[in-house]
Structures are given as C-alpha cells and as structure tokens.
Amino acid sequence: MQMSQEVLGQFRRKRLLIAAVVAALVLILTLTFRFVEEKNRIEQQSHSFANNAIQRFDRMFSPLDVAADNALAWVGTDCGLIRFKLIEKLAVLQTVRSILLVDNDRIYCSSIFGPSDLAFSNNYPELLVKNQRMQLAVDEHLLKGSPILLLWTPRNEDNRAGVLQVINIELMTSYLLEPTLPWVERAILNVGSQSLEYGNPLIEPATPAEDQVTIVESSLRYPYSITLFGPSPSRLALMTVPSQLPLALLLSLLMGYIVWLATANRMSLSWQISYGITAREFMVYCQPLINAHNGQCDGIEMLLRWHNPRQGWIPPDVFIPLAERQNLIAPLTRFVISETVRHLPDLPMRSSFHIAINVAASHFRERAIIDDLQRLWWPANPQPQLVVELTERDSLPVVDQRVVSHLHKVGVKLAIDDFGTGHSSLSYLKTLSPDVLKIDKVFTAAIGTDAINATVTDMVISLAQQLNIGLVAEGVETAEQAEYLRERGVDALQGYYYARPMPLGDFPAWLANHKAFCPA
C-alpha cells in the first residue's frame, strides 16, 4: 500500500509540476505579449503624432504656396502699386508676418515697410542654394528676437527673383507641436541644421536626454522634419505590466487548472497501463512450483511485470489493484495468456506440468474468462494442466459460480490465491470447490518467528487436507521454511529459495540446468 501511494504520489507530483510549468509559461507569455503589444502601441502613438504634425504643417504651408505663386506675377512691379495687395494677402494669410518681393537679387518691396533696397544674397545666402526653400531665422525687424520661418518661392532657377514669406513659426509650433504625454515629451521642428522646439523661443540644436529616445519623420512636400524626444517605449510598456498582472495571473491559473484536468487521464497510472498494453511494455515472467515431496519442478506460475520507460519498474502490487479498479485487468490477463501460448513449445509437454495464471474476479463476469480461453488457449491444443488462480481482492458474485462450474467441466483447475489475507470466507471452499489453496507468503515468513501466524498456517493446512484440497506455499526463502511445510504435507513450494521470478523465455534454460534437482 505504501509503495502504491508513493507511485501514485509521483504521478500527482508530475501532473502538478506540468500544470505549474504551463501556468508559469502562460503567465510569462501573457505578460510578454501585453508588454510587446503596449510597446508597439506606444511606438505607433509616437509615429502617429509626428505624421499628424507633418500633415498639419503641410496643410498650413499649402495655401502659402498658392499665395506665393500668385504673387510671383507682381515681382518687378513698382512697390507703391502692389503694396496694398500684399497687405491684403497678409490679412488672409494669418500666419504670415510679411511678404517680401525680390528682383535681380534685391529685396525691393516689403508688405510692412514698403520700398526697400537690400541685397538678397547677402541677407539670406542659404536660400540661394538650389532647392533650399525654407530657413529658420530670428526676426530682426518686426518682433525682434522672435523665431520666424522664411518660405522662399523663386521665379526662376537662378534664385535671384521671387517671393519671400516671413512666417510666424512660433505660433504654428505652439499650435501643432504640443507634446502628448507620456510618450512624447519634446517636439522639435527641423529645417536644415536649425531646430525650433515647442515651448522654446530660441533657434538652436536640440539633443535628447540620456533616458530619451528619438523619433524622426520628414515631410515629403517641404524641406523640414519633425523630431520627437520621449521615454523609451520599452520603459513605458514595462510600467504597465503590474496593471496587467491580475488578469495574466488569472489566465495562467485557469490554464494550469485546465492542464491539471487534461492530464488527469494521460498522467494517471490507469492511462499509463492502457498505453503500456498498446506499447507492449508489459512482460510475462514465471516462477517455478517445486514438488515438496520429490523436489521436481511440477509447474510455473505466470507473473506480470511492467517496465515503464517513464517511471521505471512498477511493482505488481501497485498496478494490479489499480488495473482491477479501472477494468483493465482483463486485457492484461489476455496478454499473459497470449504470451504463454506463444511459449508453449518451449515448456514441458505433459499433463502433470501445471501452468498457473492469475485471474481477477471481475474477469469471471459474463463468461469473459471462458470466452478468452476458448479464443486464445484451447486452439493451441496445450498439453500442460491449466490452473486459474483466483485472487481474493474481490468477492465473487453468486452469478459467477456458473463460470466456475464450467471451468471444472472443461478440466481447468481452480486455485484461491493468497488464501487468508483478503475476503477469506469458508463459504468459498463450498461454493467454488477449489482444487488448490495458496498459502500467502505472510504466513510462510512467520514460520519460526511468529507463533500466531504459524498457528494460522497450521490451521489452513489442516483444513485443506480435511477437504482434500491441494496446497501451495508462497514465499519460501529458507530451508527451515521448506522443511516445516514439507513435514506438514504441503504439496508444492514456491519462493526465492528455489528460484526468483524470471522472464518466461529464460525458463527452459533454468529447467535444463536444474534437471538433477527438478527433473522434467
């Protein structure tokens, strides 16, 4: 019983370990998935912020392009004639501070100050570079010291004539670049090598802090870009993990419980038995039965052994009772019968040689044992005497007595195994009419050491002799025990003193080596 509980405990611990591992993996994977998902969401939010800002800036610059294209027709016209038209455009273009007309590299007209005469190339040399249409600068005339954006629209490729718009870029950035916490902490407009950061009126290069990451998106229509500084998406995502822990923990516990239930069969010993039958993990062993009077080997008892590759050797007293409870004992018995039939040519071919097979009480129901013998045993025309050993772990129903009677009629002997240890009842001796009683090894081991059990042994021997029932003593390990049983008239002896259980295929060699002791 202790061994059985230990093996079953091993299966439960394995099931628990698997369920715990799955639960831990689900917890880790869930938190990892939520972390990656949140990280991607934060990154997407940052890129969306930059792209939206670029789209809004492009929409703000688009009407300025149209206004500049219209004003190109005025380039070269006397400033006094077109100044008021320039002022009218300023009223429409609310983000533009002033409009300057350039002709022959001279700024000759300003919407604010009227006629002027300034060298364009000296004042704005960067705009003379081919395709350089924008420049961040500081206002030196109207709102001195404030940042402005110069939008240059040339009339021809030599960049010596065109329209220059002075844009109130500080107003635009304060409206379009307001950071969105927590993923955007700083937002910067970049034109060439110059930068204007939201909330900072100075035009100067912007650098991120040590713990900030940088995201840059560029406009496809205008020569500017948007730079965002903010905390690492991984750090922000990691901060959300604690809030995800309860749900992830609940999901992991649920999956662990599902795995625990799902492995109830697969990780149970009963499932292992079913699988072991299919995978032929079971092996048939045998142990010789020695005639107590002449020392000859009169027969063998078939024993089932199980080597589970996942658990190692599992004792019969562990898997046999469980197989009986799970209705798996009949397939195991059929396997034993089939293997015995397969080895019949190697066994002594005489009727005085006994082959004992253990059969559970449940196998007697609905004539199952008779059907199996008719299908597996009798077609082989066996010469040895078949003995069915009935275990006492279960009580036989009354209806099964017909099966017992049928076995007697066809010449099968019936033995009661482990007599005196299970559901022993003297009524069995009357209703079953057994041919043999097998004295359990507990009583054999008590010989010479335990007076009470030795007395029980003597009583069983006396009872069997009075009823003319054969006796087999199990568990004989010493010469003293063998002599004690022999003197009291026990018919056959079985135990380590004569031979340990061996694979059925090894029995012929054992028998040949012991002819002098146990002649065939």
Percent of residues, the chain, with pLDDT higher than 90: 44
Please count the residues of the chain. Answer: 520
Residue 503: pLDDT above 90? yes
Res. 92: pLDDT tops 70: yes
Q: What local confidence, expressed as pLDDT, does residue 452 receive? A: 67
pLDDT at 425 over 60: no
């822990």: which residue's tokens? 245
**Whole-number pLDDT of residue 399:** 41
What's the confidence (pLDDT) of residue 182? 86
Per-residue pLDDT tens for 351-384?
Answer: 899 999 999 888 888 788 999 999 999 999 999 9
CA atoms within 13 A on the CB side of 420: 22
In this predicted structure, the answer to whether residue 164 has a pLDDT above a threshold of 80 is: yes
User: What pLDDT sits at residue 417?
Assistant: 84
**Mean pLDDT of all residues in 405-413:** 89
Q: Is residue 398's pLDDT more than 60?
A: no
| CA angle 382–383–384, rounded 5-degree value | 100
- Inform me whether the pLDDT recorded for 253 exceeds 70: yes
Q: What are the chain's domains?
A: 8-263 (3.30.450.20), 283-304+326-513 (3.20.20.450)
User: Given this model, what pLDDT does residue 285 score?
Assistant: 95
SS3 449: coil
Q: What is the mean pLDDT of residues 283-310?
A: 90
Among 115, 117, 229, 248, which residue's Cα sits nearest to residue 181? Answer: 229
| Dist CA 33 CA 171 (whole Å) | 42
Whether the upstream peptide bond of residue 182 has omega within 30° of 0, thus cis, is: yes
CB 277 within 8 A of CB 332: yes
Question: What was the pLDDT predicted at 416?
Answer: 87
Render pLDDT for 142-158 as a digit per residue (tens, 0 to 9): 888 899 999 999 998 88
Q: What is the pLDDT of residue 518?
A: 41
CA gyration radius, the chain:
50
Arithmetic mean of pLDDT, 128-148? 85
Of 186-190, 384-388, 432-436, the one with minimum mean pLDDT is 432-436
118, 103 Cβ separation under 8 angstroms: no
User: Nearest Cα to 302, choosing from 320, 326, 321, 314?
Assistant: 320
Q: Rounded CA gap, 431 and 404, in Å? A: 9
pLDDT > 60? residue 43: yes
pLDDT of residue 4: 52
Residue 191 binned pLDDT confidence (cut-offs 50, 70, 90)? very high
pLDDT at residue number 6: 62
User: pLDDT by residue (tens digit) across 338-359?
Assistant: 999 999 999 999 989 999 999 9
Interatomic CA distance for residues 138 and 142, integer angstroms? 10
Residue keyed to tokens 């690492």: 232
pLDDT at 520: 37
Residues 338/376, Cβ–Cβ less than 8 Å: yes
Average pLDDT across the chain, whole number: 86
Per DSSP bridges, beta strands 106-110 and 114-119 are: antiparallel
Has residue 508 got a pLDDT over 50?
yes
pLDDT band, residue 519 (cuts 50/70/90): very low
Q: In the prediction, which pLDDT does 261 show?
A: 77
CB 247 within 8 A of CB 26: no
Instruction: Give the pLDDT confidence score for residue 391 in this predicted structure.
Output: 73
210: burial class by Cβ within 10 Å (0-12, 13-18, 19+)?
exposed
- 414's enclosing H/E stretch is strand 413-419
